[in-house]
Structure 1
Amino acid sequence: MKRSFLRISLFCCLTHFVQANVPLYGQQNLSDIPLVINELSASNKTDTDPQGQYEDWIEIYNFGAYTIELGGMYVTDDLSDPTQWQVPPETILSPGMYILIWADNDVTDIGLHANFKLDANGEEIGLFDRDGITLIDSVAFGKQTTDVSYGRYPDVAEDWRFFSVSSPGAENSDAYLGEVEALEFSHDSGIHDQPFFVTIATETEDATIYYSLSGQDPLAVNGRGRPLGAVYNGPVLIDKSTSLRALAIKPGWKSSSLDTQTYTFLDPDVQGFSSNLPIVIIETYGQTVTYAERHAYKASSVVVVEPNEPSGRAAINGPCDFAGRAGFRVRGRSSSFLWPKMQYALETWDAQDN
């Protein structure tokens, strides 16, 4: 009798051991569901869905050792509404694999398309079990930048980072802690007739601002290896036509965009000039503009003043309609080099000189 009892007890223990350690397809015990929301993009202009559209997306990763059936689970961007969108039946995720859910609020599209969109200003996403109650994973995120994804680094980790190169369906890499906020200037680009001090700031704490007054990238170096810019420590005097360029950096963070303000000072003799036609002012900062091969432009700045109401005239020292960086060169050398009045080519540039 004792021997039979021992056999029964041993059999029960072995059975329990096997059941507890054999991976089960679609296993729903929360502690045994190795799923995480691994990466997201709330302002996507790079990656396309199966329909060729640029939509928000959510990446779910199976970090376990067995295949999991996602069908019947729920994904939501409102944790008070856990059953907002249900994953279609027969959706499975193999171990070590990723799956994308397109948050485009268009469930009529073929594939995994949720009935909500992500808010680029920040919100929360949740992954719920089939019971609509058990929370498997969630993430709260703040304001997002276009084409900068947000995810765990490394995969599955508790730490979240930003990625300038998103990796939907692949391992997260090349992460940074955040993005330095854009610079703010006390004076915008335009026409000036009196010297002034310009201040530069960013809302990101402990960021260092670099600037140059030569129109060059402040982090670039000259032929001797010396930086072309300087560290900003306080207001900068502007008393002549200047192309001020600046950016802010912080260790472990993505630097701010390179920003430019162009300040144009006019000769006193022309400050009262006006015209019934648009006025275009080109500042070459003392450079001689000669004929150059195609696309070899001199870095300059341009100001455009349009006629305003009710006068119908453009005042050269009035508010400008455009002010920024530009490229300038002589064109048509073969037909104009003998003539005193040459033809010119002008193109406006963005902060990256494109």
Structure 2
Amino acid sequence: MRQFRVILGYILLYNSSGYTQEILINEYLASNVIAFPEMFDFDDYSDWIELYNPGTASYSLNGFFLTDDLADPLKWKIPDNTEIESEGYLIIWADDYDESPGQVYMRPYWPWDNFTTRHYHANFKISANGEQLGLARADQIGSYTLIEEGSLWKYLDDGSDQSLIWIQIDFDDTAWSTGNAELGYGDGDEETVVSYGPD
């Protein structure tokens, strides 16, 4: 297994309004086998992600999430009341344990037969083959209406085959009919009845 370390200004910190630099993914270690073991909680050489606060005040991570899959930006929620001090760092172990400080676990050996977690542990590991890392803020992942209810629609009701021409940006649909949604026929609740063209 190949071990590597990459130092980054930031990998990706995003929200719905674009990029931000409030908190940075500063450094990470993937496929850890020899460096910086996590000795207090789960006794292993885990992957980790280091977050950095470049600001002049402490910063709350309430509503922040880490992910290794940008299609799932809310994969692991950073526990509420987690803060990074001004110009401070926070290590999050990417070891798939999904835990936060203060959780009690049993150990299979004596005399330390239990322990209380001291660190943050995400619910994923980092691939040594390379993958996406993201830090998202949930309060900026919005809900948007793409098409308003009752919107005016263009439609063609002559039974002709338009192939895929109609999806082109410069397609001219000025000759098409217009009507409010719901469009259709047969239900009795349509705003615009479409007669399904000539047979």
Give the TM-score, by structure 2 length: 0.49
Give the TM-score, by structure 1 length: 0.28
Higher relative contact order (CA 8 A, sep 6+): 2
Who wins on radius of gyration, i.e. which is larger?
1
More helix by share: 1
